[in-house]
Amino acid sequence: MSSLQNVGRSLARCAAQNVARRRNIQSVRCQSTAASVNVQPVEDEPAAPMVKTPIPGPRSKELLKDLESIQNSEAVQFFVDYDRSHGNYITDVDDNVLLDLYTQIASIPIGYNHPNLLAAMQKPENLGHFINRPALAVFPPKDWAEKLRNTLLTVAPPGMAEVQTMACGACSVEHAQKALFIEYKARQRGGAPPTEEELTSCLMNQAPGNPDLSILSFKGAFHGRTMGALALTHSKAIHKLDFPAPDWPTASFPQLRYPLEDFVQENRAEEDRCLAEVRDLIEKYQKKGRSVVGICVEPIQCEGGDNHATAYFFQGLQDIARENTIGLMFDEVQTGCAASGKFWAHEHWNLREPPDIVSFAKKMLTGGFYYRQNYRPQQGFRIFNTWVGDPAKVTLLEEVVKVIQSQNLVANMANLGAYLQQGLKDAQTKFPGVVKNARGLGTLCSIDFNNSATRDKALLALRGKGIHVGSCGDVSIRLRPTLIFQKKHADLFFDCFDSVLSSFK
């Protein structure tokens, strides 16, 4: 039987079965938000996956060979026909149509070729933003402040009213690090200007102009691949091998046991252990003459394995930051923009006050970071590069925000997150020797396999059935659907997931 016939039979089975009852969805609905959701289907979205060739197919392999003549292309999985990708479906150059639950590494907010975004590209008043990419820090367009208010400040984390745009996640993190250092040194100087010795020594990479300071991060963290961001990244050796990195403190991130309700005391003890380690490291580096100016943490360690912690842990980090008069930075590059069931994942933690810095990118289309007022530099050119972002991306984000608000997509992510998490929990109950540790925050969901080899086989098997998901950590798969993902898409995924897991029993 061909792979196409297999997929067709699988989809017919999905339509015939009462999958909602099989996964006890009634109880999930009782837990979901009561807000009305009005997700509009994207024009031309396929009804189902369609697999015609192995993936990568012959055309993808031809293109890969061509690209390989120009650059190392070992990371390429398949080539995409973006003109024919719509909504929650991605189409490759061999006409394979896949339900996409990975979405360009969690960076597609409202699906492929959304009509609102296509329309924005064609509006005459927007053409200047697409054609003339301005150096925003020195020559911004006349409506730049208005655009920022209509987009980034409309969805700003509670209690934060200032924002700096950037181009990507890594440069957002790097410049946010600079903001932490600038604020710390300005406070140390007590309002005095830098000394002549500082101004001259910094040009030679020497103290006192280049002070021996540090930022605390966590084992398993991922904050980007550029050199400054790599100082905070500790997820995979391939990211860091051969690159010099500063001696900065790296604390343990909690390794929770699941199901959470069965290990409350054990998990609290684990979080207390990690918080104590953070305190000890700050003290240790202070004594080493390498003072910590801030703590940088992800609400979920995504690349590192979708590692979670509770509100208690994050509240504890904020307490430690306040005790030591240092900054607390949340890296929300992957977790921001509604995917968690709140617009910003850190909103789940009920912090006593806003964080000091929140970085963003991916689903936000532009990079950048929000900051509290005391982290605004007092001089121009301190947080700076040629473009510091792209007004064309902010123009598109303006449309994304309108769709999120009009269709109540934050509530959609809360509802769908409960649905997805219940489905993953049912899978681990049905296949206890294959998968475990189902977890999630909104639609930021994942599950572990018994080993990495089985996980990798499952990824390929799902792709063969027309389902595209991502991996993270050593043994996990992660789901990162669009904000317009619906239960019908989840049912297609779970039917195929069940089939794949059954083959491993």
**pLDDT value for 16:** 40
- Tell me, what CATH number does 53's domain have? 3.90.1150.10
Residues 41 and 184 in one domain: no
Confidence of residue 32 (pLDDT cuts 50, 70, 90): very low
Judged against a pLDDT cut of 60, whether residue 138 lies above it is answered with: yes
- Our answer to whether residue 493 is catalytic in this structure is no
- Our answer to whether residue 222 is catalytic in this structure is yes
CA–CA distance, 454 with 444 (Å, rounded to integer): 22
**Does residue 485 sit within a domain?**
yes
Catalytic residue among 222, 313, 330, 485: 222
Between 121 and 31, residue with greater pLDDT: 121
Catalytic residue among 147, 342, 362, 425: 362
Nearest to 443, CA basis, from 42, 109, 66: 109
Q: What is the CB-side half-sphere exposure of residue 414 using CA atoms within 13 A?
A: 19
Q: How confident is the model over 139-150, as a mean pLDDT?
A: 96
**pLDDT value for 36:** 82
**Does residue 399 sit within a domain?**
no
Residues 371 and 448 in one domain: no
Catalytic residue among 92, 94, 331, 390: 331
**Does residue 90 sit within a domain?**
yes
pLDDT tens digits, one per residue of 416-449? 999 999 999 999 999 999 999 999 999 999 999 9
**Does residue 394 sit within a domain?**
no
Residues 446 and 384 in one domain: no
pLDDT tens digits, one per residue of 63-89? 999 999 999 999 999 999 999 999 999
Backbone angles phi, psi at 467, to 5 degrees: -120, 125
| Interacting residues of 172 by C-beta distance below 8 A, sequence separation 6+ | 166, 333, 359, 360, 361, 367, 368, 369
**Does residue 32 sit within a domain?**
yes
- Our answer to whether residue 287 is catalytic in this structure is no
Residues 178 and 291 in one domain: yes
Number of domains within the chain: 2
Judged against a pLDDT cut of 90, whether residue 41 lies above it is answered with: no
Transcribe 382-413 into DSSP letters: SS--SSSS-HHHHHHHHHHHHHHHHTTHHHHH
Count the neighbouring beta carbons within 10 Å of the beta carbon of residue 132: 11
Residues 220 and 288 in one domain: yes
Judged against a pLDDT cut of 90, whether residue 18 lies above it is answered with: no
**pLDDT value for 35:** 58
**Does residue 11 sit within a domain?**
yes
CA–CA distance, 51 with 91 (Å, rounded to integer): 10
Count the neighbouring beta carbons within 10 Å of the beta carbon of residue 138: 11
Averaged pLDDT of the chain: 93
Catalytic residue among 65, 386, 429, 474: 386
Residues 91 and 142 in one domain: no
**Does residue 169 sit within a domain?**
yes
Report which DSSP code applies to 75: T
**pLDDT value for 42:** 84
- Tell me, what CATH number does 292's domain have? 3.40.640.10
| pTM (2 d.p.) | 0.93
Residues 112 and 160 in one domain: no
Q: What residues make up the domain containing 142?
A: 134-389
- Domain stop point among 358, 389, 420: 389
Strand 89-91 versus strand 292-297 pairing type: unpaired
Residues 73 and 203 in one domain: no
Single-letter amino acid code for the residue at 118: L
- Our answer to whether residue 356 is catalytic in this structure is no
pLDDT tens digits, one per residue of 365-406? 999 999 999 999 999 999 999 999 999 999 999 999 999 999
**Does residue 122 sit within a domain?**
no
